[in-house]
Structure formats: C-alpha cells, structure tokens
Amino acid sequence: MTLKASNSNATCGDDVLIERLAQRIAHLGLEAPALLLLECHRPVTFLAGQALLVAQPLLSAFVDPDLVRRYAELLARPEALDRLAQRLESARG
C-alpha cells in the first residue's frame, strides 16, 4: 500500500489530527525542535510516511493502526505539513 501525494484540501479529520499533534508537542515544550526537524526533513517526509506504513504491523501492538495510517497520509501532503508548522509557530508565541 502506497500513498499518493495529493493537493486536495484538508479534511476536518486532518485539522483535528494536526491540532492534537501540535498540542502534544507544545505540552512537551518541543515546538522549536519540532519546527527545525520539520523544515530540515521536508524533502523526505513522503518517505517517512511510507516508512510508517511499512512499520504499521509492528506499531499496531502499541498504536491504533488507523492512527498510523492517518499520520502517514499527513506526511505525504506538503500543505498539511505547512499547516502543522503554522500551528506550532503560533503555539510558540
């Protein structure tokens, strides 16, 4: 199963997922490192999403497989990553 990067508009579920991820990162106080990693690794985020799909059987012992799939889909879309970066920047102050 591979993901196709699409330029479609984000769904409400994506917004909820982005918000939840941004809140967790902010709660841990890791906004700056997360932004740095997000920007530095932007060219390989699609591959990271594919790696999540490959690791999904192993991760399913610890995390809901649907959540892994949704994060992989999120990594495949540059516009979703832009929204995550914007959300992290606003949380940083």
| Sequence ranges of the domains in the chain | 12-92
Q: Note the pTM of the prediction, 2 decimals.
A: 0.78
pLDDT band at 1; cut points 50, 70, 90: low
pLDDT in tens, 25-72: 999 999 999 999 999 999 999 999 999 999 999 999 999 999 999 999
pLDDT band at 5; cut points 50, 70, 90: very low
Q: Is residue 11 pLDDT above 80, yes or no?
A: no
| DSSP code of residue 11 | P
In 3D space, the residue among 13, 1, 10 whose CA is nearest the CA of residue 78 turns out to be: 10
N-terminal to C-terminal alpha carbon distance within the chain: 39
Dihedrals phi, psi of 61, to nearest 5 degrees: -70, -20
